[in-house]
Amino acid sequence: MQSTKKGFVYKAMTIVLTCGLSLSAIAADFATTEALAKKGNADAQYELARMYRDGRGVSKNDSSVVEWYTKAANQGHADAQHQLGRKYDSSYGVPQDDFKDDFKAAEWYTKAANQGHTDAQRDIAFSYLRGKGVRQDSTKAMEWFTLATDSGSSSAPYSLGILYEYGKEVRHDLSKAKEWYGKSCDNGNKSGCDKYKELKEQGY
């Protein structure tokens, strides 16, 4: 019995020490990242924003997330530009001004999309489709959806397939829905494959 207790205590101490080392490593990682970010390293600025977002080595802080995403985005960091666009798109952690937020979201999406950022290409496509932050333009929306698909996005063609299938924001067209589901399937989207098969069996 005594041996069992000792074994339990040993395991508990090991867990505590391991967790302590992990927490120290996280804190050190934050300090290193912060130091690099303050020196102007865009990758570090982006990572620091994510640390504030996730609470890794520091307390969560939405304003700091936006601050560091902005610093990295201003240096041309595509991931930061996209994430900043999403912040403005959702008006989360940024000043509340609907028109201004939509405009800034589209602006940052465009900057990231022009660098070939697939998710940003999809998101700016939706902005043009809905006229959110930009003048509504279905032609530009389709151009961006196509670019995102060609870049390997499976979610962009799948989302477009959904829109065509249910006639949301585009004209109801099951043949086009099947076409986009097929492209989504080609890019590895299982749901897209299922939808494509379903519509094909229906004769579309």
pLDDT means over runs of 10, the chain (204 residues): 46 42 64 95 96 94 95 98 94 70 95 97 96 94 96 95 92 96 97 97 94
Distance from C-alpha of 140 to C-alpha of 172, rounded to nearest angstrom: 19
Count of residues in the chain: 204
Distance from C-alpha of 86 to C-alpha of 89, rounded to nearest angstrom: 5
Q: Domain residue spans in the chain?
A: 1-75, 154-204
Tell me the C-alpha to C-alpha distance, in Å, between residue 62 and each of 49, 91, 95, 127, 189.
Answer: 9, 11, 11, 24, 32
Q: What angle do CA 168, 174, 178 make, to 5 degrees?
A: 110
Of 141, 132, 140, nearest in space to 159 by CA: 141
Q: Which residues, other chains included, contact 155 with Cβ-Cβ below 8 Å and sequence gap of 6+?
A: 119, 122, 184, 189
Distance from C-alpha of 104 to C-alpha of 110, rounded to nearest angstrom: 10
Distance from C-alpha of 45 to C-alpha of 68, rounded to nearest angstrom: 5
* Secondary structure of residue 189 in the 3-state scheme: coil
Q: Which CATH architecture has domain 154-204?
A: Alpha Horseshoe (1.25)
The confidence score (pLDDT) of residue 17 equals 39
Distance from C-alpha of 45 to C-alpha of 52, rounded to nearest angstrom: 11
Distance from C-alpha of 184 to C-alpha of 157, rounded to nearest angstrom: 5
Tell me the C-alpha to C-alpha distance, in Å, between residue 13 and each of 1, 104, 130.
Answer: 19, 51, 57
Whether 69 and 84 have beta carbons less than 8 Å apart is answered as yes
Whether 90 and 83 have beta carbons less than 8 Å apart is answered as no
Q: What is the DSSP letter of 131?
A: T
The confidence score (pLDDT) of residue 5 equals 46
The confidence score (pLDDT) of residue 189 equals 97
Backbone φ and ψ for 77, nearest 5 degrees, come out as -75, 110
- pLDDT, tens only, 30-77: 999 999 999 999 999 999 999 999 999 999 999 999 999 999 999 999
The confidence score (pLDDT) of residue 91 equals 78
